[in-house]
Structure 1
């Protein structure tokens, strides 16, 4: 299961608010983005990490489409707080989120849209680095989320390049993005999955 998403409010603490705002301004310049991704998930209960790869699409204000291509095929649409599985015909089936997935998904959507306030409501955020090579650290504020989610790190430059999610049970998810670019035209299935005309 892909783990994704996050939200912010108040002042970013322990680092330069200027860096955080410059990162957000940079990310929000790209309203529709495509990338290839690789994901590795380490679970203390398993001897081997679980790996997957595929393509992702983010469209500001509409959500994200994760298309897993290896080792199996699955398309997930994350819109707002909802996660849907999309079949080859474009039919959507709601899937139940693991705890924390909704918060992570919403945070990512807010961050990529350059909206810090919704994220700061749920996370304390610190920023390190420079505008060309930065890392953002997210710690959940709400006790019920903190019981499940230890923290999240995002890193990147012009585009988001990596997501690291650490859960309280020791599970860790690392997502790396390559060939990140402005999306160009969307196909019919992508538009349907993200609710675009």
Structure 2
């Protein structure tokens, strides 16, 4: 489940029509896609019926439109993951990505999240029924799996935010749940050479 969440951050009008509250969904995605690159601090909390206490990790997120995401976990251990499309890689101290094993479900959720942050919901709407509620200033998007195979594992995903994405909640049919809270979200500014290398960008 930790990897599923780590792996988690061009309109098609016909696909948007499958979503409830399509006008609000369009407004939300339009707002998110105006940010070419953002940084945020995150706190991730995982609950599992088999665990006596929730597990918490903290770190930093970098999202670059059209390139992908870097999840830099700082506690209780240190690890950096680069997510670009279906590719998931661990990033070494030199910024070079090293292939990491994943599964199709992880890739699908990763692509969905990257597409939503890029203002392109087509992948999400192929995989999920989407319900939008609230307003452009404070919104919540609810995702329910459309495919039976995914629904046997994943119960729902919820994204909430305003100008930026503020939180993600994932619930599995096993009873596990993970919540990610973002704080101090801001425009990314210049990327370091290591960040560019990790995301496959020119120096």
TM-score bracket for the superposition, by shorter chain length: over 0.9
Indicate which of 35, 47, 50 corresponds to 2:40: 35
1:123 aligns with 2:128: yes
1:22-62 per-residue CA deviation (whole Å, 9 max, x = no partner) reads 00000000010100000001111111111000100001111
Quote the offset at 1:159 in angstroms.
0.2
1:11 aligns with 2:17: yes
Tell me the SS of whatever aligns to 1:131.
Answer: coil
> Which deviates further from its counterpart, 93-102 or 64-73?
93-102
For residues 156 and 143 of structure 1, what CA distance do their matches in structure 2 show?
28
Are 2:32 and 2:117, in contact at CA under 8 Å, matched by a contact in 1? yes
Alignment correspondent of 2:157: 152
Are 2:132 and 2:140, in contact at CA under 8 Å, matched by a contact in 1? yes
Are 2:16 and 2:22, in contact at CA under 8 Å, matched by a contact in 1? no
1:94 aligns with 2:94: no
For residues 91 and 165 of structure 2, what CA distance do their matches in structure 1 show?
24
Q: Which has the higher helix share?
A: 2
Q: Gaps (5+ residues) in structure 1? A: none
Quote the offset at 1:158 in angstroms.
0.2
Higher relative contact order (CA 8 A, sep 6+): 1
Quote the offset at 1:82 in angstroms.
1.5
Alignment correspondent of 2:112: 107
1:165-192 per-residue CA deviation (whole Å, 9 max, x = no partner) reads 1111111010000000110100011101
The change in CA–CA distance for 1:98 and 1:71 in structure 2 (over 3 A counts) is: farther
* TM-score, scaled to structure 1: 0.94
> Which deviates further from its counterpart, 152-161 or 119-128?
119-128
* TM-score, scaled to structure 2: 0.91
1:195 aligns with 2:196: no
For residues 106 and 54 of structure 2, what CA distance do their matches in structure 1 show?
19
1:138-173 per-residue CA deviation (whole Å, 9 max, x = no partner) reads 011122111111110000000000000111111101
Tell me the SS of whatever aligns to 2:72.
Answer: strand
**Cα RMSD (Å) of the superposition?**
1.6
The change in CA–CA distance for 1:98 and 1:40 in structure 2 (over 3 A counts) is: farther
Q: Gaps (5+ residues) in structure 2? A: none
Indicate which of 50, 65, 74 corresponds to 1:69: 74
